[in-house]
Amino acid sequence: MQKFKKIAAEKICAATKKIWDYGDLDPTELAGALEYPPDGDMGDVAFPCFRLSKVLRNAPPKIAAALAEEISGDEFSSVTAAGGYLNFKVSSAALLSILSEIEEKGESYGSSGCGSGKTVVFDYSSPNISKPFHIGHLGTTVIGHSLKLLHEFCGYKCVGVNHLGDWGTQNGKQIVAFKRWGNREKVEKEGIDALVELYVKFHEEAEKDPSLNDEARAEFKKLEEHDPENIELWKWFIDVSFKEYEVTYKQLGITFDSYNGESFYSDKMAPQIEKMREMNLLKLDDGASIVDLEEYGMPPCLILKRDGSTLYPTRDIAAAVYRKNTYNFDKCVYVTSSAQSLHFAQWFKVVELMGYDWHGDLVHVPYGTVSIGGAKLATRSGNVVLLKDLFAQSIEKVKGIIEEKSPDLEEKDSVAEAVGVGAIIFKYLFNSRIKDIDFSLDSALSFEGSTGPYAQYTYARTRSILSKAENESFIAEGGDLTASEEEELLRVLSRFPEVIGEALEDYEPSDITRYIIDLCTAFNRFYHNCPIISSDDAEVKSMRLRLTSATSSVLGTALRLICIKTPEKI
C-alpha cells in the first residue's frame, strides 16, 4: 500500500500545481501524511486536506473536491472527496501488479534491501551461567533473534553474540556453594538443576550467615587470579549450563556467531580503564572508581570496586570497543529487559565521554518484565518457570491434540515441537515489546483465536492446496479477480513491505506477529468463500492458486522472521 501512497502523493502534488499553481509540495513528505481510512469501503488511502488549507488558503472540503475532480489514473478505480478527506480506491489492475511483484520477488518480497553493505551486532539471550534459563529470558532470546532475522532479511550483515554472564561474584557464590554442599555425581546426573539448587541454597544460607558473601567474593577473586581449582570448576559449570541452553536454542532454531561472554573481556578492560583515568573521567568514591554522571541526571557509573575488581558496566564498555574493532559495526543492538535501561544509558554515556565517535551507534532495545500469575520472577527464591518446562508442557499438549485429530500425521514429534514452541513464541511476540506481561500458562497454552497454531495451520493449508494443484499438474498463469475476498487478500499482501519497514524502524517484532493474523484472517475468508481447486473455471482457478501461492510465500517468510517454524502438514 505504501506504493499507492507514493503514487497518490505524486498526483496530489501535480494537481495542486495545476489548479493553484502551487509547486512547493514534497511528494515524499506528503506520502507520509496519507492515512489508511478506518473503513475500507471509503477507500484504501486517504489524504487529510486540512494539511494544505493554510498554504492554499482554502477550506479542506473545497480542496478535496477540487483535487477529486482533477485526479485520475489507472492505479485508482475512484478518487472521491468526503468532507475534508480525499479518498483513493486502488483499482484491481493495480492490485494485480502487487501479485506479479510477489511472484517476481519470491521470498525477498517485503525486503527493502536498505541494510546492504552495513553490519549490525546483536547482543541477546546472554543467560547467566549456573542460573536457570527461565521465562524471563524468552524476551531477549526471541525478540533478539527475530530482530536479527529481520535485519538480515533487509540486507544487513548481522553478527549474533551471546554475551554469557560467566564472570562476576555470582560465579564465586556458585563455587562456595559447590565446595560446601555440592556433589559431583549429582551435578553430572541432574545438570543445571543441581547447580540452580546450590545457588538457591547459597542465598538461603547467606541470609543466616552473611560472611558467606565475603567468602564468595574471595573465591571470585581467586578465579580472576586463575586459581586452577576454581578455573576447573567454573569451566565445568559453563559446560553443564550450556548443555541445557543448547536444547532450548535448538528448539527455537537459534545459533550464535559468537559466545564471547563477560569472561572474554577480563583482559580487555585495563586499557579502557587507563583511558578513562587519563581523561580524568574517574573519581574515587569511598574507595571505588566511578564516572560521575550527575550532570546528565544519572547516578554514577561504577567502574572498579573497592577491592579493584571490575563490574558489569566495565565489561560492557570493553566489549563495545572490542566489537567496534572486530566487526566495525554500523549499529550494536542490545536486547534486555527494561530493568537494565539505566545500566545501558549510563555506560553509553561513558563511551561518549571517552570520545568514541560511534557512541551513537549503540542501541538498547528494552522489553517489559514478565511475571507469573502476578508474582515477580526471582531466581534466588526459586520462583521461576524454566523455558524447557514451559516448552515441554506445550509440546505435550500439542501431541495430545495431534493424537486425537490426526493420528496418521507423518513426523508427529517434530510437528508437535514446532507447534508447541511456536505457540509460546507467538503469544509472547504478539504484544508490543515494552509492555509488561503477566504470563499465565493456561492462556499461553490456549490455542484459540489469534495464536501461533492458527497461523501455522493456515500456512499448512496453503501448502496442501498448492500440492494438490501440483498433483493435477495444473499450472497457474493469468486469470482475473472475480471476488471481493480476493481483492481484500491482495490488499493485505500489499501491506507486507510497509510492515517490515515499521518493524525494522521500531525494533518491533510484534508488528509482524499482528500482520500474520490479518493475513491469515484474509486468507481464510477467501478460502471459505471462494472455491479454489474445485473451481471449474480454469481462469478463476488459476488466479486463486496464484493468490494462495503468494499468501503461502509471504506467510512463510513472516512466520520465519518471528522464529516460528513452518511445517508443511499439521
Pick the piece of the chain touching ligand ARG (CB under 6 A) from 23-31, 123-131, 366-374, 542-550: 123-131
Nearer Cβ to ligand ARG (346/552) = 346
Nearer Cβ to ligand ARG (130/542) = 130
Contact 196, 168 (CB under 8 A): no
User: How many chain residues are in contact with ligand ARG, going by CB under 6 A?
Assistant: 9
Nearer Cβ to ligand ARG (344/447) = 344
Find the binder of ligand ARG among 126, 174, 462, 513 (CB under 6 A). 126
Name the phi and psi angles at 187, rounded to 5: -65, -40
Phi-psi region of 97 (alpha: psi -120 to 50; beta: other; left: phi over 0): alpha
**Taken in order 557, 558, 561, 565, is the CA torsion positive or negative?**
negative
Nearer Cβ to ligand ARG (87/248) = 248
Strand 362-367 to 45-48 pairing? unpaired
Q: How far is the CB of 195 from ligand ARG (least distance, A)?
A: 15
Find the binder of ligand ARG among 2, 90, 122, 123 (CB under 6 A). 123
244 touches ligand ARG by CB under 6 A: no
Pick the piece of the chain touching ligand ARG (CB under 6 A) from 103-111, 124-132, 216-224, 303-311: 124-132
Q: How far is the CB of 184 from ligand ARG (least distance, A)?
A: 26
Contact 91, 75 (CB under 8 A): yes
Question: Is residue 38 packed enough to be buried (19+ CB in 10 Å), middle (13-18) or exposed (0-12)?
Answer: exposed
DSSP 8-state code for residue 111: -
Strand 157-161 to 282-285 pairing? unpaired
Nearer Cβ to ligand ARG (123/219) = 123
Q: How far is the CB of 28 from ligand ARG (least distance, A)?
A: 37
Positions in 149-168 near ligand ARG (CB under 6 A): 163, 165
Contact 548, 466 (CB under 8 A): yes
Nearer Cβ to ligand ARG (227/257) = 257
Cell of 148: 536479527
Contact 198, 182 (CB under 8 A): yes
316 touches ligand ARG by CB under 6 A: yes
Sketch the per residue contact string, 322 through 351, with ligand ARG: x for CB under 6 A, - otherwise: ------------x-x---------------
Cα–Cα distances (Å) from 154 to 4, 176, 236, 454, in that order, read 21, 48, 39, 27
CB contact burial 536-552 (16+ within 10 A = b; e otherwise): eeeebbbbbbbbbbbbb
Positions in 162-221 near ligand ARG (CB under 6 A): 163, 165
Pick the piece of the chain touching ligand ARG (CB under 6 A) from 17-25, 120-128, 399-407, 423-431: 120-128
Q: How far is the CB of 426 from ligand ARG (least distance, A)?
A: 24
Contact 545, 553 (CB under 8 A): no
Sketch the per residue contact string, 261 through 300, with ligand ARG: x for CB under 6 A, - otherwise: ----------------------------------------
Name the phi and psi angles at 288, rounded to 5: -90, 155
128 touches ligand ARG by CB under 6 A: yes
- Closest residue to ligand ARG, judged by C-beta, is 165
Cα–Cα distances (Å) from 532 to 458, 486, 539, in that order, read 15, 11, 11
Contact residues: ligand ARG, CB under 6 A: 123, 126-128, 163, 165, 316, 334, 336
